[in-house]
Structure 1
Amino acid sequence: MLRRILLLNALPPALLAASLLYLDQYQNGLMAAEVEALRTQARIYAAGISEAAVRIENDRASLVPELARPLLRRLVEPSPNTQGKLFDNTGLLVADSRVREGSGGAIVSEPLPPPEPRGALSATVSGIYDRLLVLLPRGFLGQQGRPDVVVDLNPNAPSFDWQPDLGPERREELRIALEGGVTPYIRRTSDGRLLVSVAEPARRGAQSIGIVLLTREAREVDQRLIEIRTSVLTLFAIALVLTVALSFFLARTIATPMLELARAAVRMREGEGRANSVPSGLVARDDEIGVLARDLQNSASALWGRIDANERFAADVAHELRNPLTSVRSAIETLRRIENPDQQKRLLAIIAEDAVRMDRLIADISDSSRVDAELSRIISQPVDIAPILSALAELHNATRKSDTDPVVELEAPEDGLVVRGVEGRVVQVFRNLLGNALSFSPENGKVTVRGRPTGAVVEVTVEDEGPGIPDHKLESIFERFYSERPTGERFGQHSGLGLSISRQIVEGLRGRISAENRRDADGKVMGARFVVRLPAA
């Protein structure tokens, strides 16, 4: 995680630094300005020499070397980093600003000033920059491994291998130079000098009398570039330090908490930390890590709650099955000892009833254990509960065994009761509620079913006219194997799982189910009311 954070955070400044270090456009602009300035200077020198260092004979002008040499030196003298050469029409060198006549007639050559010494920081930056250029596509100034490179700043000008030193043997280059078509020549020497050379013809009227060649060391270009590179690399170093620091900070605030959450998950899997499995510091955070920590803690609590519920369920199942089995066992043992046919028939009837009771109990237990798993696999779909309620009401009213049995009345719109759920399970909820209400209703009683949409929820109530529910049992009735039997009903007709299964289904569909008592104006209990709220589709 830390390596990925470092890589992602360092990549943008690295790309920025690489793009800024590649300064071809800026270098080309500086060199273009340098060439134009040097070319203008060469034209001025050529014009001055063509006026002051020529001899006119028979309307033809020719150079006077004795006049041209001191004049060229005087012209170039204000520019210490510039060397000027003057060639005649045949390509012979006439004058050189760096060559003068010394004492005793000796010829003295003055080299260009040595390169200015670089500071330690500039040398370091240049070294880093030169190494980076090996990895980057390079422009004409980066080709330090090839000192003899002609740079064509004018795409329409002819390109040829022209050298600064002209001679009679280079007739084609000489002709081009006399016509003013020479391409500027830029090179970097082995000692790191950046040299720019231009040639301009010296004309007297329409007649060419020679060629002025100027070579200047472009120190300002290198200085500006090194300043920019120094600034870029310094900013990059600062950005890199900040990036590394921020990466470690992000690692401490993201990666480390994630590892702590992973360790907490391992402890949960191994059964450790039943309560407060996740460190409290992570749970108290207000960011996404805190949300994840709280969700993990809630999931762990829900998981432990589910485990505890399963343990209680297993104990309750064993207890509920033990009662009919004990009854069957006692009846069988008694049956072996008696010979009275009537008593034998009565014992066999008890055994049959207990067998039916165990079958009903096992079916309900199986159904209860499948509810959660089934709801977690099935995707909720829109279900219209209006026809479901109507069908259940009509089915009961059409199959009443006697006229004194309770009736079911439905008060619900024909449409608009569409919820998100699983149709089969929704039917089971309302069938359980109706069966529960009918079992507690007196003779000639009435069970009323009402449905209505209330915003984002569809509410369905099932009301009966029975004895109601003890106030302290309004929640207990939804527990497994709880059964509040109607007066006169035979034992074993209810498993005590119907309401528990109904709550499992409703809550699995992200709804709510509750129970309350119906009371009159005097506060007398008139029956029970079950309220189911399911999310509308």
Structure 2
Amino acid sequence: MKFFASSQKRLLKPSIFRRILAVNILALLTLVVGLLYVDRYRISLIESEVGNLSAQAENFAAALGEAATNNKLNNENSLNQGRADQIIRRLAKNTKTQLVLISRDRTILSDSRLLLEPGGLVQKDELPPPETFPNIFTKHLLNIFDKFTFLFFSNLKTLNIAGEIITYPTPDLWSQIDKTFEGQKLFHVDISKGSVDKISVAVPVQRYKQVLGTLILTFNPLAINESVFLVRLQILQISMIALIITIFLSIYLAKTIAQPINRLVKTANNVRQGLSREYSI
């Protein structure tokens, strides 16, 4: 009975090894929790951005269906390219979104990035944002961090857009554009190595339930990448602080364990050599 009681007491009492192990995995657990949080945070931002872009596309398509159509005597409507181009440029003037209007025969009627100049059409592209990384070392470290997160911890399988479940990876819009002529809405999210490169939404342009064409909105979500970068930087800072605390606590525990053992060894050595008869341990 005494043997079982002592064994049970030893099992309930945490060993020194378990204490040191718990302290040493503190930084690792902080990093793992951070990886999972970044993935969930990125998905929520993507879902919100796609939802906003979808609502914007539906409003723009409704405006085009009302104001940029030619009414024919046989009740068949068609898009007026001149009026549609004016509306497209006005809608895209105060946004960073690219608007492309396509007819049913896949002809591009208007593109907000194409400007008519005296020398011909000129394509307008957004300049890349300035570097926001504090230094090169932090940049490379966060890139490795994000690639590791995307490969092993990413749960980006489905997107919930206004109650509609979209499976990722999403198909290319141009290969599925015929579905919009049937009244369907299409989504495309382009993600490479954890960075969101492009979000696109394609909606049908209708008048009295007659599909006249397709409107494609494409948005470069720099705000998502910036927000994820700031979160990654904070997680990296917290992990570094946890690592430093872990190192100091490990040193403290090692000294706490080693000091009485060293005193015991020193005292036993003195007793063995017969230097004195009384020692305090």
TM range (shorter): 0.7 to 0.9
Which amino acid counterpart does residue 66 of structure 1 have in structure 2? Answer: G
CA–CA distance in 1 between the matches of 2:212 and 2:235? 49
State the shift of 1:230 in Å: 1.2
Kept in 2: contact 1:85–1:214 (CA 8 A): yes
Q: 1:42: which partner in 2?
A: 57
**Larger RCO (alpha carbons 8 Å, 6+ apart):** 2
1:13 aligns with 2:27: yes
State the shift of 1:199 in Å: 0.9
State the shift of 1:49 in Å: 0.9
Question: 1:211-241, CA deviations, whole angstroms, 9 ceiling, x for partnerless residues?
Answer: 1111111111111111111112112211221
Counterpart among 181, 199, 206 of residue 203 in structure 1: 206
TM-score after normalising by structure 1: 0.44
CA–CA distance in 2 between the matches of 1:47 and 1:90? 20
Over 3 Å counting, the alpha-carbon distance change for 1:160 and 1:101 in structure 2 is: same
TM-score after normalising by structure 2: 0.80
The number of aligned residues is: 260
Give aligned-pair identity as a percent: 26
Over 3 Å counting, the alpha-carbon distance change for 1:46 and 1:163 in structure 2 is: same
Which amino acid counterpart does residue 143 of structure 2 have in structure 1? Answer: G
Counterpart among 244, 247, 266 of residue 244 in structure 1: 247
1:163 aligns with 2:163: no
Which amino acid counterpart does residue 60 of structure 1 have in structure 2? Answer: E
CA–CA distance in 1 between the matches of 2:99 and 2:86? 12
Q: 1:234: which partner in 2?
A: 237
Which amino acid counterpart does residue 250 of structure 2 have in structure 1? Answer: S
Question: 1:127-162, CA deviations, whole angstroms, 9 ceiling, x for partnerless residues?
Answer: 34235437733233xxxxxxxxx9654675688963
Q: 1:120: which partner in 2?
A: 134
Q: 2:70: which partner in 1?
A: 55
State the shift of 1:113 in Å: 2.7
Kept in 1: contact 2:158–2:165 (CA 8 A): no
Over 3 Å counting, the alpha-carbon distance change for 1:151 and 1:194 in structure 2 is: farther
Kept in 1: contact 2:77–2:212 (CA 8 A): yes
Structure 2 residue runs without a partner (length 5+)? 1-15
Q: 1:462: which partner in 2?
A: none
Q: 1:187: which partner in 2?
A: 190
Q: Say which SS state the counterpart of residue 132 (structure 2) adopts.
A: coil
Kept in 2: contact 1:152–1:183 (CA 8 A): no
CA–CA distance in 2 between the matches of 1:231 and 1:158? 30
State the shift of 1:269 in Å: 4.7
Greater per-residue strand proportion:
2
CA–CA distance in 2 between the matches of 1:213 and 1:273? 93
Q: Say which SS state the counterpart of residue 120 (structure 1) adopts.
A: coil
Aligned counterparts, 1:271-286, within 5 A: 271-276=274-279, 278=281
Kept in 2: contact 1:49–1:71 (CA 8 A): yes
Aligned counterparts, 1:432-447, within 5 A: none
Over 3 Å counting, the alpha-carbon distance change for 1:34 and 1:193 in structure 2 is: closer
State the shift of 1:123 in Å: 2.3
C-alpha RMSD over aligned residues: 3.0
Q: 1:502: which partner in 2?
A: none
Q: 2:264: which partner in 1?
A: 261
Question: 1:164-196, CA deviations, whole angstroms, 9 ceiling, x for partnerless residues?
Answer: 3x3xxx5xx233222343442111369x55211
Q: Say which SS state the counterpart of residue 47 (structure 2) adopts.
A: helix
Over 3 Å counting, the alpha-carbon distance change for 1:215 and 1:133 in structure 2 is: same
Kept in 2: contact 1:151–1:186 (CA 8 A): no
Q: Say which SS state the counterpart of residue 17 (structure 1) adopts.
A: helix
Q: Say which SS state the counterpart of residue 83 (structure 1) adopts.
A: strand
Structure 1 residue runs without a partner (length 5+)? 141-149, 279-537
Over 3 Å counting, the alpha-carbon distance change for 1:181 and 1:274 in structure 2 is: farther
1:223 aligns with 2:230: no
CA–CA distance in 1 between the matches of 2:168 and 2:31? 34
State the shift of 1:52 in Å: 1.4
> Which structure is larger by alpha-carbon Rg, 1 or 2?
1
Over 3 Å counting, the alpha-carbon distance change for 1:181 and 1:160 in structure 2 is: farther
CA–CA distance in 2 between the matches of 1:180 and 1:269? 94
Counterpart among 90, 104, 110 of residue 95 in structure 1: 110
Q: Say which SS state the counterpart of residue 25 (structure 2) adopts.
A: helix
Over 3 Å counting, the alpha-carbon distance change for 1:157 and 1:275 in structure 2 is: closer
Over 3 Å counting, the alpha-carbon distance change for 1:238 and 1:180 in structure 2 is: farther
CA–CA distance in 1 between the matches of 2:42 and 2:222? 13
Question: 1:307-337, CA deviations, whole angstroms, 9 ceiling, x for partnerless residues?
Answer: xxxxxxxxxxxxxxxxxxxxxxxxxxxxxxx
With 249-258 and 61-70 compared, the bigger mean Cα shift is at: 249-258
Over 3 Å counting, the alpha-carbon distance change for 1:269 and 1:244 in structure 2 is: same
CA–CA distance in 1 between the matches of 2:144 and 2:18? 26
CA–CA distance in 2 between the matches of 1:189 and 1:66? 37
Q: Say which SS state the counterpart of residue 131 (structure 2) adopts.
A: coil
Kept in 2: contact 1:189–1:195 (CA 8 A): no
Kept in 1: contact 2:205–2:211 (CA 8 A): yes
CA–CA distance in 2 between the matches of 1:131 and 1:8? 27
Which amino acid counterpart does residue 257 of structure 1 have in structure 2? Answer: P
1:138 aligns with 2:171: no
Question: 1:483-531, CA deviations, whole angstroms, 9 ceiling, x for partnerless residues?
Answer: xxxxxxxxxxxxxxxxxxxxxxxxxxxxxxxxxxxxxxxxxxxxxxxxx
Q: Say which SS state the counterpart of residue 184 (structure 1) adopts.
A: strand
Over 3 Å counting, the alpha-carbon distance change for 1:13 and 1:189 in structure 2 is: closer
CA–CA distance in 2 between the matches of 1:255 and 1:276? 19
